């Protein structure tokens, strides 16, 4: 496909100097959203994107129809028991948003089928979204008595919610609206008040407020303010209803405070702040009636352990689940007679159930030995804890999925471990998982470390798909996805839209590079701060390793990543542009040095623990400068020839508060100026935030646009089976 002439952002050189190091940035002006030229430029880029992608329009529409055709558009989630109700959500064909519902518990038997007779609609997001281009419900918190709900809505994409109240039992609902609320809200037990967090100008949840229902929000009470700009606040109600927990956390340090659940008063410290020590807290009233705090922490345990303290004697914590080599403990959910532990085994998410005892020590000396790991039927499999609001539960709801198996809602008997599938995501169109094969392989990085890679492709592309080490007869077209930051794990999960790639013979691989958390805390630390470049080397080494083994080749390989994964992609193509045919970068965090130097921007100060502090630390400044994608665009080849990048599709959002729109815009402008032979398309959503479009049909259309771009670059324009 021939690209028409692209827009050229005017160059307005600005010299930026820090630690005596002058840098000339031609595109600082794109940060000024009030400059009419900025919006004009973004609109020109969108017009260019529409014309440049015109050749994929028919394919895009075909892929979109395929995506929709696989979805059970009118569907219902597996109901979850809470108190005297079953809670669930419906979707309807043609509607963008879910409808939240509940029905009476009845005799407690799980409702195998759910008709609309006898159900109560709590919230229809479609009605809420009428007249709005964007609508995101970030808060839907039902009160403990089940008669009221707090509903927080964002119509801009800036993640600031307006919270109002809705009656669920016929009583008059409070009429006030609370503005600028974050994602975190908790009810007091008497339902007289809610606690909520509010964000500062940098979009950091930094204040905890209490609002008394029926009162003027102007009279709301400030309960706590977090003055350390690295720390973010959240508030939540414990599952047993006995405590309101406030977590204050930076990337590497935590503090936990508690409030009286009945009144929202009496703020006290449960886990004091110590630099480098992390903690998440649960509250538990044991079978004996004694109240306990249960903490998941790295205090004395690199890959975390579980500790407990009687509420009356806190903070006298003692260990109840020890750190285990090769097993990262991610968190604990406390129930009346069990602890349910989220952990990582062999780079996969898993769940362990630990029974409590009736005596004065509910944990006992052999707690870990008494438990069991929730079984799974394939490897690699992702098993994660799902919604479980009921404290006196006899089973725990988990979600299980793999690269070939659609997500299932599974109830696990807490006593026997027996699994009952309550709902498996339907894939319409005759999907047969036997037509595909998933595997886990390991690719050696340049420093000798083995990098796990999750891979899925059509079974018929490999002669002996079930034989270890079997390779395809010919290199496969492939998408290689990566993230590698914040200790986030990219799980091998099923995505039905991906079938539009797989069915056309395109393999999909996830590079679990360092900087993520797939193999524990050491894996994360090996790709963080001064070791950040390791993340990018890993990704390039995986790409080259897959090619060397015959799974793919550079002319058939597309790299994909979003947000910090966009940073990964940007840095990787600076290192090895010839290793990839094309690139998709979604809301990419690419102007890292400039962003980390600006303390007024959202997230910057809190992110110093992830990337380094270039404002005060000279080594961090030059370290970030050495790999920041924007600062390393167009580094000439040894013979002086400007670098030519793979074809790029770059997606941004004007209202993004996490990766500002100017980051992808500046990056594209610099690539265009320094690498004139590169084909690059920038599409900026002028009405959305970090997550892109809010409606599901709109998001499917964007996915179809991305996949059509990928298929076009791989030279695959026919439908499956054509």
Catalytic residue set = 563, 656, 690
Here the tokens at position 487 are 């200790």
- Retrieve residue 120's tokens: 């109560």
Say which residues have a Cβ less than 8 Å from residue 493's Cβ, sequence separation at least 6.
Answer: 382, 401, 402, 403, 407
Measure the CA–CA gap between 441 and 56, rounded to whole angstroms. 33
Strand-pairing partners, residue 292, are 284, 310
CA distances from 309 to 313, 316, 330 (A): 7, 6, 19
How far is the CA of 338 from the CAs of 239, 324, 396, in angstroms?
Answer: 12, 20, 10
Give the separation between CA 703 and CA 710, rounded to whole angstroms: 11
Residue 271 CA to residue 672 CA, distance in Å, equals 51
Q: Which long-range contacts (CB under 8 A, 24 or more apart) does 262-271 make?
A: 262/188, 262/189, 262/190, 263/188, 263/190, 263/192, 263/193, 264/188, 264/193, 264/195, 264/210, 264/223, 267/223, 267/224, 269/315, 270/245, 270/314, 270/315, 271/295, 271/297, 271/315
Q: Say if CB 187 and CB 174 are below 8 A apart.
A: no
> Other C-beta atoms within 10 Å of 343: how many?
22
Question: Rounded to 5 degrees, what are φ and ψ at 666?
Answer: -65, -40
- Strands of the sheet containing 507-511, edge to edge, are 436-444, 450-458, 507-511, 478-481, 557-562, 582-586, 647-653, 680-685
Task: Give first-to-last CA distance, the chain, whole Å.
Answer: 21
As a whole number of angstroms, the distance between CA 502 and CA 509 comes to 11
DSSP string, 584-636: EEES----HHHHHH-TTSTTHHHHHHHH--TTT-HHHHHHHHHH-TGGGTTPP
Do 678 and 711 touch, CB atoms closer than 8 A? no
């Amino acid at each position: 496909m021939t690209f028409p002439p692209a827009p050229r952002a005017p160059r307005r050189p600005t010299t930026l100097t820090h630690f005596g190091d002058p840098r000339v940035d031609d595109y600082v002006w794109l940060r000024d959203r009030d400059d009419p030229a900025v919006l004009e430029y973004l609109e020109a880029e969108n017009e260019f994107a529409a014309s440049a992608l015109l050749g994929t329009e028919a394919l895009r529409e075909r892929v979109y129809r395929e995506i929709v055709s696989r979805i059970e558009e009118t569907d219902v989630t597996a109901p979850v028991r809470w108190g005297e109700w079953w809670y669930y959500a419906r979707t309807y064909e043609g509607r963008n948003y879910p409808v939240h519902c509940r029905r009476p518990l009845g005799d407690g038997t799980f409702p195998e089928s759910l008709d609309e007779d006898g159900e109560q609609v709590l919230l229809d997001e479609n009605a809420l979204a009428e007249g709005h281009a964007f609508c995101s419900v970030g808060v839907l918190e039902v009160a403990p008595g089940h008669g009221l709900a707090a509903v927080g809505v964002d119509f801009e994409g800036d993640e600031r919610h307006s919270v109002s109240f809705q009656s669920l039992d016929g009583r008059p609902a409070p009429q006030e609206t609370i503005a600028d609320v974050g994602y975190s809200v908790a009810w007091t037990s008497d339902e007289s008040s809610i606690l909520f967090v509010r964000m500062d100008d940098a979009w950091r949840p930094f204040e905890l407020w209490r609002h008394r229902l029926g009162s003027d929000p102007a009279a709301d009470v400030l309960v706590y303010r977090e003055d350390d700009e690295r720390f973010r606040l959240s508030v939540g109600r414990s599952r047993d209803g006995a405590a309101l927990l406030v977590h204050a956390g930076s990337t590497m340090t935590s503090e936990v405070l508690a409030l009286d659940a009945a009144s929202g008063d009496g703020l006290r410290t449960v886990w004091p702040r110590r630099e480098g020590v992390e903690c998440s807290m649960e509250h538990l009233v044991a079978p004996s009636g004694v109240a306990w705090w249960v903490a998941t922490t790295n205090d004395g345990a690199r890959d975390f352990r579980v500790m407990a303290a009687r509420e009356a004697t806190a903070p006298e914590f003692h260990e109840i689940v020890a750190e285990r080599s090769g097993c990262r403990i991610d968190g604990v959910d406390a129930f009346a007679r069990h602890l349910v532990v989220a952990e990582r085994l062999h780079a996969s998410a898993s769940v362990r159930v630990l029974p409590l005892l009736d005596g004065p020590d509910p944990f006992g000396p052999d707690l870990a030995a008494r438990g069991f790991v929730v079984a799974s039927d394939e490897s690699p499999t992702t098993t994660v804890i799902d919604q479980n609001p009921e404290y006196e539960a006899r089973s725990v709801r988990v979600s299980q999925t793999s690269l070939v198996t659609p997500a299932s809602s599974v109830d696990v008997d807490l006593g026997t471990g027996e699994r009952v599938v309550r709902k498996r995501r339907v894939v319409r169109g005759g999907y047969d998982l036997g037509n595909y094969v998933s595997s886990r392989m390991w690719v050696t990085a340049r420093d000798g470390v083995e990098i796990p890679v999750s891979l899925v492709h059509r079974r018929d592309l490999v002669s002996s798909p079930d034989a270890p080490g079997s390779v395809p007869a010919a290199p496969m077209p492939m998408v290689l996805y990566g993230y590698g930051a914040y200790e986030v794990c990219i799980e091998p999960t099923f995505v039905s839209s991906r079938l539009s790639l797989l069915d056309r013979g395109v393999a999909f691989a996830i590079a679990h590079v360092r900087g993520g958390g797939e193999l524990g805390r050491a894996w994360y630390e090996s790709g963080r701060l001064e070791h950040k470049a390791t993340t990018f080397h890993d990704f390039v080494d995986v790409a080259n390793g897959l090619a060397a083994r015959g799974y793919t080749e550079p002319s058939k390989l597309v790299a994909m990543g979003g947000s910090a994964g966009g940073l990964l992609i940007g840095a990787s193509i600076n290192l090895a542009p010839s290793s990839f045919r094309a690139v998709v970068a979604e809301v990419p965090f690419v102007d890292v040095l400039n962003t980390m130097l600006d303390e007024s921007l959202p997230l910057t100060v809190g992110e110093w623990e992830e990337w380094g502090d270039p404002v005060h630390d000279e080594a961090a400044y030059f370290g970030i400068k050495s790999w920041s994608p924007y600062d390393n665009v167009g580094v000439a080849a040894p013979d002086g020839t400007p670098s030519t990048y793979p074809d790029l599709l770059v997606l941004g959002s004007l209202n993004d508060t996490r990766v500002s729109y100017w980051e992808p815009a500046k990056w594209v402008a610099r690539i265009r100026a320094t690498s004139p032979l590169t084909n690059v398309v920038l599409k900026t959503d002028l009405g959305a935030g970090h997550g892109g479009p809010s409606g599901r049909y709109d998001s499917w259309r964007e996915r179809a646009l991305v996949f059509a771009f990928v298929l076009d670059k791989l030279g695959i324009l026919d439908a499956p089976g054509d």
